[in-house]
Structure 1
Protein backbone atom coordinates (compact mmCIF):
# COMPACT_ATOMS: atom_id res chain seq x y z
CA UNK A 1 0.00 0.00 0.00
CA UNK A 2 1.36 3.41 -0.94
CA UNK A 3 1.66 5.71 2.02
CA UNK A 4 -0.32 8.91 1.52
CA UNK A 5 1.15 12.36 2.22
CA UNK A 6 0.51 13.25 5.85
CA UNK A 7 0.55 16.16 8.25
CA UNK A 8 1.70 15.14 11.72
CA UNK A 9 1.80 16.89 15.08
CA UNK A 10 3.53 15.36 18.13
CA UNK A 11 2.91 16.84 21.58
CA UNK A 12 3.36 15.76 25.23
CA UNK A 13 -0.05 15.39 26.86
CA UNK A 14 -1.32 13.41 29.86
CA UNK A 15 2.10 12.09 30.74
CA UNK A 16 2.59 10.52 27.34
CA UNK A 17 3.24 11.49 23.72
CA UNK A 18 0.22 12.24 21.56
CA UNK A 19 0.54 12.09 17.78
CA UNK A 20 -2.20 13.56 15.59
CA UNK A 21 -2.05 12.77 11.89
CA UNK A 22 -4.14 13.63 8.82
CA UNK A 23 -3.48 11.79 5.56
CA UNK A 24 -4.38 12.59 1.98
CA UNK A 25 -3.02 14.33 -1.09
CA UNK A 26 -5.13 17.38 -0.31
CA UNK A 27 -2.81 18.13 2.61
CA UNK A 28 -0.38 19.64 0.07
CA UNK A 29 -2.89 22.44 -0.60
CA UNK A 30 -2.17 25.58 1.47
CA UNK A 31 -5.81 26.31 2.32
CA UNK A 32 -6.47 22.72 3.32
CA UNK A 33 -3.25 22.63 5.32
CA UNK A 34 -4.42 25.64 7.34
CA UNK A 35 -7.68 23.86 8.16
CA UNK A 36 -5.84 20.65 9.03
CA UNK A 37 -3.41 22.49 11.31
CA UNK A 38 -6.30 24.15 13.15
CA UNK A 39 -8.11 20.83 13.63
CA UNK A 40 -5.02 19.06 14.95
CA UNK A 41 -4.32 21.94 17.32
CA UNK A 42 -7.90 21.64 18.59
CA UNK A 43 -7.35 17.94 19.35
CA UNK A 44 -4.28 18.70 21.45
CA UNK A 45 -5.97 21.66 23.16
CA UNK A 46 -8.97 19.55 24.17
CA UNK A 47 -6.76 16.81 25.60
CA UNK A 48 -4.70 19.33 27.55
CA UNK A 49 -7.85 20.84 28.99
CA UNK A 50 -9.04 17.37 29.98
CA UNK A 51 -5.66 16.88 31.66
CA UNK A 52 -6.21 20.11 33.60
CA UNK A 53 -9.50 18.72 34.90
CA UNK A 54 -8.55 15.08 35.52
CA UNK A 55 -4.87 15.00 36.45
CA UNK A 56 -4.24 13.29 39.79
CA UNK A 57 -0.82 14.96 39.95
CA UNK A 58 -2.06 18.55 39.85
CA UNK A 59 -3.32 19.65 43.27
CA UNK A 60 -5.65 22.19 41.64
CA UNK A 61 -7.32 19.77 39.19
CA UNK A 62 -11.01 19.07 39.67
CA UNK A 63 -10.33 15.41 40.43
CA UNK A 64 -7.71 16.33 43.06
CA UNK A 65 -10.06 18.85 44.68
CA UNK A 66 -12.76 16.16 44.77
CA UNK A 67 -10.31 13.63 46.23
CA UNK A 68 -9.18 16.05 48.93
CA UNK A 69 -12.74 16.89 49.96
CA UNK A 70 -12.42 20.52 48.83
CA UNK A 71 -15.17 20.18 46.23
CA UNK A 72 -18.25 18.03 45.76
CA UNK A 73 -19.29 16.27 42.57
CA UNK A 74 -21.82 19.03 41.87
CA UNK A 75 -19.12 21.70 42.25
CA UNK A 76 -16.53 20.43 39.74
CA UNK A 77 -16.36 20.52 35.96
CA UNK A 78 -19.35 18.66 34.40
CA UNK A 79 -16.91 16.37 32.61
CA UNK A 80 -16.03 14.82 35.95
CA UNK A 81 -19.62 13.78 36.57
CA UNK A 82 -19.78 12.32 33.05
CA UNK A 83 -16.64 10.24 33.58
CA UNK A 84 -17.69 9.29 37.11
CA UNK A 85 -20.93 7.83 35.74
CA UNK A 86 -18.94 6.02 33.03
CA UNK A 87 -16.63 4.52 35.65
CA UNK A 88 -19.58 3.24 37.67
CA UNK A 89 -20.95 1.46 34.60
CA UNK A 90 -17.55 0.00 33.77
CA UNK A 91 -17.07 -1.27 37.32
CA UNK A 92 -20.33 -3.18 36.98
CA UNK A 93 -19.64 -4.35 33.42
CA UNK A 94 -16.18 -5.69 34.29
CA UNK A 95 -17.17 -7.33 37.57
CA UNK A 96 -14.88 -5.00 39.49
CA UNK A 97 -11.76 -5.68 37.41
CA UNK A 98 -11.91 -2.02 36.46
CA UNK A 99 -12.56 0.02 39.59
CA UNK A 100 -11.82 3.74 39.74
CA UNK A 101 -12.37 3.69 43.53
CA UNK A 102 -10.06 0.83 44.50
CA UNK A 103 -7.67 3.20 46.29
CA UNK A 104 -10.47 4.64 48.37
CA UNK A 105 -10.98 7.73 46.26
CA UNK A 106 -12.09 8.48 42.70
CA UNK A 107 -9.19 8.01 40.26
CA UNK A 108 -10.36 7.74 36.62
CA UNK A 109 -6.82 7.48 35.23
CA UNK A 110 -7.52 4.07 33.69
CA UNK A 111 -10.25 5.39 31.41
CA UNK A 112 -9.79 9.12 30.98
CA UNK A 113 -7.06 9.02 28.33
CA UNK A 114 -9.14 6.92 25.93
CA UNK A 115 -12.24 8.96 26.73
CA UNK A 116 -10.35 12.18 26.06
CA UNK A 117 -8.97 10.93 22.73
CA UNK A 118 -12.49 9.98 21.62
CA UNK A 119 -13.84 13.40 22.56
CA UNK A 120 -10.92 15.29 21.03
CA UNK A 121 -11.10 13.32 17.78
CA UNK A 122 -14.40 15.04 17.01
CA UNK A 123 -12.33 18.09 16.02
CA UNK A 124 -11.14 16.14 12.96
CA UNK A 125 -14.64 15.43 11.62
CA UNK A 126 -14.88 18.50 9.39
CA UNK A 127 -11.41 17.97 7.94
CA UNK A 128 -12.40 14.45 6.89
CA UNK A 129 -15.12 15.91 4.63
CA UNK A 130 -12.56 17.90 2.61
CA UNK A 131 -12.05 16.32 -0.85
CA UNK A 132 -8.67 14.63 -1.02
CA UNK A 133 -8.37 14.01 2.73
CA UNK A 134 -8.43 10.24 3.26
CA UNK A 135 -7.92 9.49 6.94
CA UNK A 136 -6.88 10.76 10.35
CA UNK A 137 -5.64 9.29 13.60
CA UNK A 138 -4.86 10.17 17.20
CA UNK A 139 -2.16 8.04 18.82
CA UNK A 140 -1.83 8.48 22.58
CA UNK A 141 1.16 6.56 23.85
CA UNK A 142 0.52 3.70 21.42
CA UNK A 143 -3.27 3.54 21.82
CA UNK A 144 -5.00 4.69 18.67
CA UNK A 145 -8.27 6.18 17.50
CA UNK A 146 -8.40 5.69 13.73
CA UNK A 147 -10.71 7.64 11.43
CA UNK A 148 -11.50 7.43 7.73
CA UNK A 149 -13.11 9.95 5.38
CA UNK A 150 -16.51 9.08 3.88
CA UNK A 151 -15.97 7.13 0.66
CA UNK A 152 -12.25 6.57 1.34
CA UNK A 153 -10.77 3.11 0.92
CA UNK A 154 -7.85 3.82 3.25
CA UNK A 155 -6.99 1.00 5.67
CA UNK A 156 -4.74 1.36 8.70
CA UNK A 157 -2.28 -1.50 9.29
CA UNK A 158 -1.44 -1.56 12.98
CA UNK A 159 1.50 -3.62 14.16
CA UNK A 160 1.30 -5.11 17.66
CA UNK A 161 4.74 -5.34 19.24
CA UNK A 162 6.01 -8.68 20.52
CA UNK A 163 6.30 -8.35 24.34
CA UNK A 164 9.54 -10.36 24.33
CA UNK A 165 11.15 -8.52 21.42
CA UNK A 166 10.31 -4.85 20.84
CA UNK A 167 11.78 -5.04 17.33
CA UNK A 168 9.40 -7.85 16.31
CA UNK A 169 5.70 -7.82 15.41
CA UNK A 170 3.36 -10.20 17.20
CA UNK A 171 0.47 -9.51 14.83
CA UNK A 172 -0.81 -7.00 12.29
CA UNK A 173 -4.33 -5.60 12.51
CA UNK A 174 -5.93 -4.12 9.39
CA UNK A 175 -8.60 -1.62 10.38
CA UNK A 176 -10.48 0.96 8.27
CA UNK A 177 -11.56 2.88 11.38
CA UNK A 178 -12.09 2.30 15.07
CA UNK A 179 -9.70 1.99 17.99
CA UNK A 180 -6.82 -0.22 19.11
CA UNK A 181 -5.45 -0.30 22.66
CA UNK A 182 -2.80 -2.41 24.36
CA UNK A 183 -2.22 -2.96 28.06
CA UNK A 184 0.61 -4.99 29.53
CA UNK A 185 3.77 -5.20 31.56
CA UNK A 186 6.35 -5.19 28.76
CA UNK A 187 7.02 -1.45 28.86
CA UNK A 188 6.56 -0.50 32.52
CA UNK A 189 6.84 -3.74 34.45
CA UNK A 190 4.41 -4.84 37.18
CA UNK A 191 2.38 -1.63 37.34
CA UNK A 192 -1.03 -3.17 36.56
CA UNK A 193 -3.08 -3.72 39.73
CA UNK A 194 -5.99 -6.13 40.11
CA UNK A 195 -8.46 -4.03 42.17
CA UNK A 196 -10.08 -7.18 43.55
CA UNK A 197 -6.90 -8.32 45.32
CA UNK A 198 -5.02 -4.98 45.25
CA UNK A 199 -2.00 -6.93 43.99
CA UNK A 200 0.11 -6.22 40.89
CA UNK A 201 -0.17 -8.45 37.84
CA UNK A 202 2.94 -10.63 37.74
CA UNK A 203 4.92 -11.88 34.78
CA UNK A 204 5.05 -10.67 31.21
CA UNK A 205 1.64 -10.12 29.64
CA UNK A 206 0.23 -8.13 26.73
CA UNK A 207 -3.41 -7.65 25.74
CA UNK A 208 -4.57 -5.79 22.63
CA UNK A 209 -8.24 -5.02 21.99
CA UNK A 210 -10.03 -3.57 18.94
CA UNK A 211 -13.28 -1.66 19.46
CA UNK A 212 -15.31 1.17 18.00
CA UNK A 213 -13.99 3.68 20.53
CA UNK A 214 -10.75 4.03 22.44
CA UNK A 215 -12.69 4.36 25.69
CA UNK A 216 -13.92 0.79 25.26
CA UNK A 217 -10.72 -0.64 23.78
CA UNK A 218 -8.53 0.87 26.51
CA UNK A 219 -10.57 -0.40 29.45
CA UNK A 220 -11.09 -3.89 28.09
CA UNK A 221 -7.43 -4.29 27.12
CA UNK A 222 -6.60 -3.58 30.75
CA UNK A 223 -9.24 -6.05 31.91
CA UNK A 224 -7.80 -8.75 29.61
CA UNK A 225 -4.28 -8.13 30.91
CA UNK A 226 -5.42 -8.24 34.53
CA UNK A 227 -7.63 -11.33 34.30
CA UNK A 228 -4.99 -13.17 32.27
CA UNK A 229 -4.85 -15.48 29.31
CA UNK A 230 -6.81 -18.29 30.98
CA UNK A 231 -9.80 -16.14 31.98
CA UNK A 232 -11.07 -14.25 28.94
CA UNK A 233 -14.81 -14.99 29.13
CA UNK A 234 -15.76 -11.49 30.26
CA UNK A 235 -13.68 -9.80 27.56
CA UNK A 236 -14.98 -11.98 24.75
CA UNK A 237 -18.52 -11.06 25.80
CA UNK A 238 -17.66 -7.34 25.99
CA UNK A 239 -18.61 -4.77 23.31
CA UNK A 240 -15.30 -5.24 21.48
CA UNK A 241 -14.60 -6.45 17.95
CA UNK A 242 -11.54 -8.60 18.56
CA UNK A 243 -8.53 -9.10 20.77
CA UNK A 244 -5.14 -10.72 21.18
CA UNK A 245 -3.67 -11.76 24.54
CA UNK A 246 -0.08 -12.93 24.97
CA UNK A 247 1.41 -14.49 28.10
CA UNK A 248 4.38 -16.80 28.66
CA UNK A 249 4.77 -17.46 24.94
CA UNK A 250 1.10 -18.36 24.52
CA UNK A 251 -1.35 -16.44 22.37
CA UNK A 252 -5.13 -16.37 22.35
CA UNK A 253 -7.11 -14.45 19.78
CA UNK A 254 -10.85 -13.91 19.31
CA UNK A 255 -13.17 -12.01 16.98
CA UNK A 256 -16.84 -11.20 17.63
CA UNK A 257 -16.65 -13.26 20.80
CA UNK A 258 -15.44 -16.41 19.03
CA UNK A 259 -12.01 -17.90 19.68
CA UNK A 260 -9.93 -17.80 16.50
CA UNK A 261 -6.89 -19.77 17.59
CA UNK A 262 -5.78 -20.76 21.07
CA UNK A 263 -2.26 -20.81 22.49
CA UNK A 264 -0.61 -20.25 19.13
CA UNK A 265 0.28 -17.12 17.18
CA UNK A 266 -2.56 -16.78 14.64
CA UNK A 267 -0.80 -14.22 12.49
CA UNK A 268 2.31 -14.89 10.45
CA UNK A 269 3.91 -11.46 10.53
CA UNK A 270 6.22 -12.38 7.70
CA UNK A 271 3.23 -12.69 5.38
CA UNK A 272 2.75 -8.95 5.75
CA UNK A 273 6.39 -8.00 5.33
CA UNK A 274 6.78 -4.77 3.49
CA UNK A 275 3.39 -3.32 4.43
CA UNK A 276 3.56 0.04 6.25
CA UNK A 277 2.48 -0.27 9.87
CA UNK A 278 1.61 2.16 12.60
CA UNK A 279 3.77 1.81 15.71
CA UNK A 280 1.72 0.26 18.49
CA UNK A 281 3.20 -0.75 21.82
CA UNK A 282 1.87 -1.39 25.30
CA UNK A 283 1.41 2.05 26.80
CA UNK A 284 0.71 1.25 30.46
Structure 2
Protein backbone atom coordinates (compact mmCIF):
# COMPACT_ATOMS: atom_id res chain seq x y z
CA UNK A 1 0.00 0.00 0.00
CA UNK A 2 1.34 3.42 -0.97
CA UNK A 3 1.80 5.72 2.00
CA UNK A 4 0.24 9.11 1.17
CA UNK A 5 2.34 12.24 1.39
CA UNK A 6 1.87 14.15 4.64
CA UNK A 7 2.44 17.87 4.65
CA UNK A 8 2.41 20.30 7.55
CA UNK A 9 2.08 24.08 7.84
CA UNK A 10 2.26 26.12 11.07
CA UNK A 11 1.19 29.60 12.11
CA UNK A 12 1.52 31.42 15.44
CA UNK A 13 -1.84 32.56 16.78
CA UNK A 14 -3.84 32.70 20.04
CA UNK A 15 -0.65 32.53 22.06
CA UNK A 16 0.02 29.10 20.58
CA UNK A 17 0.79 27.44 17.25
CA UNK A 18 -1.84 26.44 14.70
CA UNK A 19 -0.93 23.38 12.64
CA UNK A 20 -2.53 22.24 9.40
CA UNK A 21 -1.88 18.71 8.17
CA UNK A 22 -2.89 17.48 4.74
CA UNK A 23 -2.79 13.80 3.86
CA UNK A 24 -2.22 13.47 0.13
CA UNK A 25 -3.35 16.10 -2.35
CA UNK A 26 -1.47 18.33 -4.75
CA UNK A 27 0.19 21.69 -4.31
CA UNK A 28 -1.36 24.52 -6.22
CA UNK A 29 -2.98 27.95 -6.00
CA UNK A 30 -6.19 26.61 -4.45
CA UNK A 31 -4.33 24.85 -1.65
CA UNK A 32 -2.24 27.95 -0.93
CA UNK A 33 -5.31 30.19 -0.95
CA UNK A 34 -7.27 27.96 1.40
CA UNK A 35 -4.35 27.63 3.82
CA UNK A 36 -3.86 31.41 3.90
CA UNK A 37 -7.59 31.92 4.46
CA UNK A 38 -7.62 29.31 7.21
CA UNK A 39 -4.87 31.05 9.15
CA UNK A 40 -6.45 34.47 8.47
CA UNK A 41 -9.69 33.17 10.00
CA UNK A 42 -7.84 32.29 13.20
CA UNK A 43 -6.09 35.67 13.23
CA UNK A 44 -9.49 37.38 13.00
CA UNK A 45 -10.81 35.37 15.94
CA UNK A 46 -7.75 36.37 17.94
CA UNK A 47 -8.18 40.07 17.12
CA UNK A 48 -11.85 40.02 18.06
CA UNK A 49 -11.87 37.73 21.10
CA UNK A 50 -8.48 37.79 22.79
CA UNK A 51 -8.73 39.05 26.40
CA UNK A 52 -4.98 39.75 26.25
CA UNK A 53 -5.28 42.36 23.48
CA UNK A 54 -6.28 45.81 24.66
CA UNK A 55 -7.90 46.58 21.29
CA UNK A 56 -9.98 43.39 20.97
CA UNK A 57 -13.76 43.64 20.97
CA UNK A 58 -13.90 41.44 24.09
CA UNK A 59 -11.50 43.73 25.99
CA UNK A 60 -13.52 46.77 24.96
CA UNK A 61 -16.76 45.08 26.05
CA UNK A 62 -15.24 44.22 29.43
CA UNK A 63 -14.18 47.86 29.89
CA UNK A 64 -17.69 49.04 29.07
CA UNK A 65 -16.63 50.77 25.85
CA UNK A 66 -18.75 48.53 23.62
CA UNK A 67 -21.76 46.25 23.85
CA UNK A 68 -22.10 42.79 22.35
CA UNK A 69 -24.61 44.22 19.87
CA UNK A 70 -22.13 46.90 18.75
CA UNK A 71 -19.18 44.52 18.38
CA UNK A 72 -18.09 42.45 15.39
CA UNK A 73 -21.01 40.21 14.29
CA UNK A 74 -19.05 37.12 15.33
CA UNK A 75 -19.33 38.22 18.97
CA UNK A 76 -23.12 37.91 18.91
CA UNK A 77 -22.78 34.49 17.26
CA UNK A 78 -20.39 33.32 19.98
CA UNK A 79 -22.54 34.80 22.75
CA UNK A 80 -25.53 32.82 21.46
CA UNK A 81 -23.42 29.65 21.33
CA UNK A 82 -22.24 30.25 24.89
CA UNK A 83 -25.82 30.65 26.10
CA UNK A 84 -26.76 27.35 24.44
CA UNK A 85 -23.72 25.66 26.03
CA UNK A 86 -24.61 26.93 29.50
CA UNK A 87 -28.13 25.55 29.10
CA UNK A 88 -26.92 22.19 27.74
CA UNK A 89 -24.35 21.69 30.52
CA UNK A 90 -26.77 22.89 33.22
CA UNK A 91 -24.35 25.54 34.33
CA UNK A 92 -21.13 23.55 34.26
CA UNK A 93 -20.02 25.93 31.51
CA UNK A 94 -20.65 29.68 31.43
CA UNK A 95 -19.16 32.59 29.53
CA UNK A 96 -20.05 35.00 32.31
CA UNK A 97 -17.62 35.62 35.15
CA UNK A 98 -18.01 38.26 37.84
CA UNK A 99 -20.69 39.85 35.71
CA UNK A 100 -18.41 40.17 32.66
CA UNK A 101 -18.60 38.35 29.33
CA UNK A 102 -15.61 36.02 28.91
CA UNK A 103 -16.08 33.46 26.09
CA UNK A 104 -12.47 32.24 26.25
CA UNK A 105 -13.52 28.67 27.01
CA UNK A 106 -15.75 28.58 23.91
CA UNK A 107 -13.94 30.60 21.26
CA UNK A 108 -10.88 28.45 20.66
CA UNK A 109 -12.75 25.28 19.71
CA UNK A 110 -15.37 27.23 17.77
CA UNK A 111 -12.74 29.17 15.79
CA UNK A 112 -10.71 26.06 14.93
CA UNK A 113 -13.78 24.16 13.77
CA UNK A 114 -15.05 27.12 11.75
CA UNK A 115 -11.70 27.63 9.99
CA UNK A 116 -11.29 23.91 9.26
CA UNK A 117 -14.76 23.38 7.87
CA UNK A 118 -14.71 26.60 5.83
CA UNK A 119 -11.23 26.45 4.36
CA UNK A 120 -9.84 22.91 4.64
CA UNK A 121 -12.95 20.84 3.88
CA UNK A 122 -13.05 22.11 0.24
CA UNK A 123 -9.62 20.49 -0.33
CA UNK A 124 -10.84 16.97 0.52
CA UNK A 125 -10.86 14.66 -2.46
CA UNK A 126 -9.11 17.16 -4.72
CA UNK A 127 -5.78 16.13 -6.13
CA UNK A 128 -5.94 12.97 -4.05
CA UNK A 129 -6.31 14.76 -0.69
CA UNK A 130 -7.50 12.06 1.71
CA UNK A 131 -7.69 14.02 4.95
CA UNK A 132 -7.08 17.42 6.51
CA UNK A 133 -6.65 18.45 10.12
CA UNK A 134 -6.31 21.72 12.03
CA UNK A 135 -5.04 21.88 15.61
CA UNK A 136 -4.17 24.67 18.01
CA UNK A 137 -2.61 23.86 21.36
CA UNK A 138 -3.73 20.23 21.18
CA UNK A 139 -7.39 20.87 20.30
CA UNK A 140 -8.14 19.62 16.80
CA UNK A 141 -10.78 19.28 14.10
CA UNK A 142 -10.03 16.28 11.88
CA UNK A 143 -11.59 15.87 8.43
CA UNK A 144 -11.51 12.84 6.13
CA UNK A 145 -12.64 12.62 2.51
CA UNK A 146 -15.73 10.55 1.77
CA UNK A 147 -14.72 7.02 0.82
CA UNK A 148 -11.24 7.37 2.27
CA UNK A 149 -9.98 4.72 4.67
CA UNK A 150 -7.72 7.20 6.46
CA UNK A 151 -7.82 7.16 10.26
CA UNK A 152 -6.16 9.77 12.48
CA UNK A 153 -4.19 8.44 15.46
CA UNK A 154 -4.22 10.91 18.35
CA UNK A 155 -2.04 10.54 21.42
CA UNK A 156 -3.53 11.84 24.69
CA UNK A 157 -0.80 13.40 26.81
CA UNK A 158 -0.28 12.09 30.32
CA UNK A 159 -0.74 15.20 32.50
CA UNK A 160 1.63 13.82 35.15
CA UNK A 161 4.42 12.62 32.85
CA UNK A 162 5.68 15.09 30.23
CA UNK A 163 6.22 13.63 26.73
CA UNK A 164 4.32 10.44 27.62
CA UNK A 165 0.81 9.45 26.53
CA UNK A 166 -1.95 7.96 28.64
CA UNK A 167 -3.83 6.60 25.61
CA UNK A 168 -3.94 6.62 21.82
CA UNK A 169 -7.26 7.17 20.06
CA UNK A 170 -8.16 6.29 16.48
CA UNK A 171 -10.46 8.92 14.96
CA UNK A 172 -11.72 8.44 11.38
CA UNK A 173 -13.10 11.97 11.47
CA UNK A 174 -14.18 14.27 14.27
CA UNK A 175 -12.72 16.50 16.95
CA UNK A 176 -10.58 16.13 20.06
CA UNK A 177 -10.47 18.69 22.88
CA UNK A 178 -8.54 18.59 26.15
CA UNK A 179 -8.99 20.80 29.20
CA UNK A 180 -7.47 20.69 32.66
CA UNK A 181 -5.02 22.08 35.14
CA UNK A 182 -1.92 20.14 34.09
CA UNK A 183 -0.32 22.83 31.88
CA UNK A 184 -1.88 26.12 32.95
CA UNK A 185 -2.78 25.47 36.58
CA UNK A 186 -6.23 26.00 38.06
CA UNK A 187 -7.46 28.38 35.35
CA UNK A 188 -10.89 26.86 34.72
CA UNK A 189 -13.72 28.70 36.44
CA UNK A 190 -16.56 26.85 38.20
CA UNK A 191 -19.67 28.97 37.50
CA UNK A 192 -21.49 27.32 40.39
CA UNK A 193 -19.06 28.54 43.05
CA UNK A 194 -17.36 31.51 41.44
CA UNK A 195 -13.99 29.91 42.20
CA UNK A 196 -11.48 27.75 40.32
CA UNK A 197 -12.68 24.23 39.51
CA UNK A 198 -11.56 21.88 42.28
CA UNK A 199 -12.89 18.49 41.25
CA UNK A 200 -9.54 16.75 41.05
CA UNK A 201 -9.33 16.54 37.23
CA UNK A 202 -5.81 16.98 35.85
CA UNK A 203 -7.06 16.59 32.26
CA UNK A 204 -10.31 15.86 30.48
CA UNK A 205 -10.31 14.80 26.83
CA UNK A 206 -13.54 14.66 24.84
CA UNK A 207 -13.95 13.29 21.31
CA UNK A 208 -16.97 14.41 19.29
CA UNK A 209 -17.95 15.27 15.72
CA UNK A 210 -17.65 18.98 16.48
CA UNK A 211 -14.75 20.71 18.21
CA UNK A 212 -17.07 23.42 19.51
CA UNK A 213 -19.08 20.69 21.22
CA UNK A 214 -16.03 18.75 22.42
CA UNK A 215 -14.36 21.86 23.86
CA UNK A 216 -17.43 22.88 25.86
CA UNK A 217 -17.87 19.42 27.34
CA UNK A 218 -14.16 19.03 28.14
CA UNK A 219 -14.45 22.20 30.21
CA UNK A 220 -17.68 20.94 31.78
CA UNK A 221 -15.94 17.67 32.69
CA UNK A 222 -13.22 19.51 34.61
CA UNK A 223 -15.83 21.53 36.48
CA UNK A 224 -17.98 18.47 37.26
CA UNK A 225 -14.98 16.70 38.78
CA UNK A 226 -13.40 13.27 38.51
CA UNK A 227 -16.09 11.51 40.56
CA UNK A 228 -19.05 12.82 38.54
CA UNK A 229 -19.84 11.37 35.10
CA UNK A 230 -23.56 12.12 35.28
CA UNK A 231 -23.12 14.76 32.58
CA UNK A 232 -22.12 12.30 29.83
CA UNK A 233 -25.76 11.34 29.32
CA UNK A 234 -26.47 14.96 28.32
CA UNK A 235 -23.38 15.41 26.16
CA UNK A 236 -24.67 13.26 23.30
CA UNK A 237 -22.35 11.15 21.18
CA UNK A 238 -18.96 11.54 22.79
CA UNK A 239 -16.13 9.42 24.04
CA UNK A 240 -13.33 10.49 26.31
CA UNK A 241 -10.84 10.14 29.09
CA UNK A 242 -10.49 11.76 32.51
CA UNK A 243 -7.19 11.71 34.39
CA UNK A 244 -7.29 12.66 38.07
CA UNK A 245 -4.69 14.66 39.97
CA UNK A 246 -3.47 11.41 41.55
CA UNK A 247 -3.27 9.51 38.24
CA UNK A 248 -6.52 7.55 38.18
CA UNK A 249 -8.17 7.21 34.77
CA UNK A 250 -11.83 6.97 33.71
CA UNK A 251 -12.97 6.31 30.13
CA UNK A 252 -16.43 6.36 28.60
CA UNK A 253 -18.09 5.63 25.27
CA UNK A 254 -21.42 7.28 24.57
CA UNK A 255 -23.28 7.15 27.88
CA UNK A 256 -21.39 4.18 29.30
CA UNK A 257 -18.23 4.13 31.39
CA UNK A 258 -15.92 1.44 30.00
CA UNK A 259 -12.77 1.70 32.14
CA UNK A 260 -11.81 2.80 35.62
CA UNK A 261 -8.09 2.48 36.31
CA UNK A 262 -6.05 3.07 39.42
CA UNK A 263 -2.96 5.26 39.47
CA UNK A 264 -0.74 2.20 38.94
CA UNK A 265 -2.75 1.02 35.93
CA UNK A 266 -4.89 -1.63 37.66
CA UNK A 267 -8.58 -1.90 36.75
CA UNK A 268 -11.42 -1.35 39.19
CA UNK A 269 -14.91 -2.88 38.93
CA UNK A 270 -17.73 -0.51 38.12
- TM-score, shorter chain, exceeding 0.5: yes
Equivalent residue of 2:30, what SS? helix
Structure 2 counterparts to residues 66-81 of structure 1, below 5 A: 66-81=61-76
1:119-139: CA deviations, max 9, x gaps?
Answer: 111201221130411110001
Equivalent residue of 1:19, what SS? strand
Q: 2:253 aligns with which of 252, 255, 270?
A: 255
Partner of 1:182: 178
| Native 8 Å contact 1:180 1:209 kept in 2 | yes
Query: Which runs of no fewer than 5 residues in structure 2 stay unpaired?
Result: none
Equivalent residue of 1:36, what SS? helix
CA distance 1:142–1:211, shift in 2 (3 Å): same
CA apart distance, 1:4: 3.0
Partner of 1:274: none
Partner of 1:63: 58
| Native 8 Å contact 1:181 1:217 kept in 2 | yes
| Native 8 Å contact 1:11 1:44 kept in 2 | yes
2:169 corresponds to 1:149: no
Equivalent residue of 1:167, what SS? coil
2:204 corresponds to 1:207: yes
CA distance 1:195–1:2, shift in 2 (3 Å): farther
Is 52-61 or 172-181 further displaced after alignment?
52-61
2: CA distance, partners of 1:74 / 1:253: 41
CA distance 1:6–1:253, shift in 2 (3 Å): same
CA distance 1:128–1:210, shift in 2 (3 Å): same
2: CA distance, partners of 1:213 / 1:77: 23
| Native 8 Å contact 2:88 2:234 kept in 1 | no
Partner of 2:215: 218
The higher-RCO structure (CA 8 Å, 6+ apart) is 1
Query: Which runs of no fewer than 5 residues in structure 1 stay unpaired?
Result: 269-284
Equivalent residue of 1:79, what SS? helix
2: CA distance, partners of 1:148 / 1:65: 39
Q: 1:87 aligns with which of 77, 82, 90?
A: 82
Partner of 2:49: 54
1:78-134: CA deviations, max 9, x gaps?
Answer: 111111011111112112221111231111000001100111112012211304111
Structure 2 counterparts to residues 93-242 of structure 1, below 5 A: 93-121=88-116, 122-202=118-198, 205-242=202-239
| Native 8 Å contact 2:89 2:231 kept in 1 | yes
| Native 8 Å contact 1:216 1:240 kept in 2 | no
1: CA distance, partners of 2:162 / 2:4: 26
1:26-84: CA deviations, max 9, x gaps?
Answer: 33xxxx34322221111110010111111122222222222222222322111111110
Number of equivalent positions: 262
Q: RMSD of the TM alignment (CA)?
A: 2.1
CA distance 1:252–1:59, shift in 2 (3 Å): same
2: CA distance, partners of 1:142 / 1:4: 23
Equivalent residue of 2:124, what SS? helix
CA apart distance, 1:195: 2.0
TM-score normalised to structure 1 length: 0.86
